[in-house]
A and B are shown apart, each in its own frame.
Chain A
């Protein structure tokens, strides 16, 4: 069975600083990987996804993620964080070779200080 680990429950960064959120997955085949963001009181919004090809994936809001098969990781990065990026971030892996059944990590809450 697939699984996702987000080791950091809570991260605080200063506005303008760079950000990296960690995600490690466990899956036997080529994974389908996603990052979602959840603002307070809102549903989940897709930031970016990886299915195949270029291992560096660009998403919305200036986010990017890099797939590293050797490390089973799919870390999310942003070069300069804005106060509006404060939210909870979820990494997910698609099950069974499709994206239809997602397994989510437990999330990382990002706090941005001014």
Chain B
């Protein structure tokens, strides 16, 4: 049981390049989330998904796209990377909200955009 895994762990991009971050969970969770973490700002929700084939915007969605083609995977895409997207990206998953669920986090992807 690996929990939540993220690929890659670290990436350097040039401005304008594109990339996709992969999140996978093996807990059969319905909900999945992408956050970014910046110094002094805590974690901010980028996009989330309440089930396979669904996505929704979070607090800071601009410049990102997501897809949830399979229940266990949640992809975060950067079509044209900008230096402002330099950050640490965390994926999380949880069961359907019952008031008792917990979000489980992956180890993070560190992205540097030059």
Contacts and interface: CB of A to CB of B under 8 A. Distances in A.
A44 B106 CA distance: 8
A43 B4 contact: yes
B107 to A, nearest CB: 5
B103 interface: yes
A101 B48 CA distance: 9
Interface string B79-114: 000000000001010100111111111111000000
B100 to A, nearest CB: 6
The interface size bin for chain A is 20 to 34
Contacts, number: 61
B4 A99 contact: no
B-side interface size class: 20 to 34
A97 B97 CA distance: 9
30 contacts: A4-B42, A32-B99, A36-B105, A41-B107, A42-B108, A43-B4, A43-B106, A43-B107, A43-B108, A44-B43, A44-B90, A44-B105, A45-B105, A46-B102, A46-B103, A51-B100, A52-B99, A90-B42, A97-B99, A98-B99, A99-B94, A99-B99, A99-B103, A100-B48, A100-B50, A101-B45, A101-B58, A102-B43, A102-B45, A105-B42
Interface of B: 4, 31, 40-45, 48, 50, 58, 90, 92, 94, 97-108
